[in-house]
Amino acid sequence: MSFAPLFDFMARGGPALWVIGALSVLTLALFLWRLIGLAQVGVWRRPQSETWLDQWRAGGAVPIAPGRTPLDRVTRSAMMALLTPEFSPETAEKETTRIAKAELAALRHGLRPLELIAAIAPLVGLLGTVLGMIGAFQALQESGSGADPSVLAGGIWEALLTTAAGMAVAIPASALASWIEGLAEREQARMEDAATRVFTAAAARPAQPQAAQ
């Protein structure tokens, strides 16, 4: 397989196109990395929190297993915090919030680089276009009255390559960042709901057993 056409295409766009090419590779790597990371934290697994909440309201013990999803882990930690003798209700709530923030931070990991790529890729493309246009008009000026319009047109479309390439990288990066943020917001809403249900049901529990050993 020959990469000569690809290198020729990249050379037409100048240094800016090489930078955009590197950003596209980085975007793809971030995408694959976050897919693996989200799968590892269990964001797509079926949560057990509803079953645990039913048991909690009935006075059952805290489940032994830490849970397979972020929602499970926050739900269980809220139960554990309420059953910790050293914790007041306010302290238990703060501990639950701390763990929820840690889970959300893990979900949002890698979001900033994607947002940065989405912001700078079009700017790099625009910079490449401006530099290319400057070169094209300089060539037109040097050619004087015998300038060939086709040469100028060729220089312009080559300069515009970087703008198109920058947008082609920025759009997927922005979409990926929005998707990850959407997942995090969904999990945050579910965590808040589950934690609230744990705390409001605590007063109505018929018993207060310690965590299962």
Q: Check residue 102 and give its pLDDT.
A: 95
Q: Check residue 213 and give its pLDDT.
A: 36
Q: Check residue 136 and give its pLDDT.
A: 73
pTM metric for this prediction: 0.81
Region of residue 44 (left: phi > 0; alpha: psi -120 to 50; beta: else)? alpha
Mean pLDDT of the chain: 86
Region of residue 59 (left: phi > 0; alpha: psi -120 to 50; beta: else)? left
Q: Check residue 64 and give its pLDDT.
A: 85
Q: Which CA distances in Å does 5 have to 9, 10, 11, 20, 181?
A: 6, 9, 10, 17, 37
How far is 203 from 206, CA to CA, in rounded Å?
8
Residue type for position 27: T
Q: Check residue 211 and give its pLDDT.
A: 45
Q: Check residue 153 and give its pLDDT.
A: 65
Residue type for position 28: L
Q: Check residue 76 and give its pLDDT.
A: 94
How far is 183 from 38, CA to CA, in rounded Å?
10
Residues of the chain short of pLDDT 50, as ranges, are: 209-213
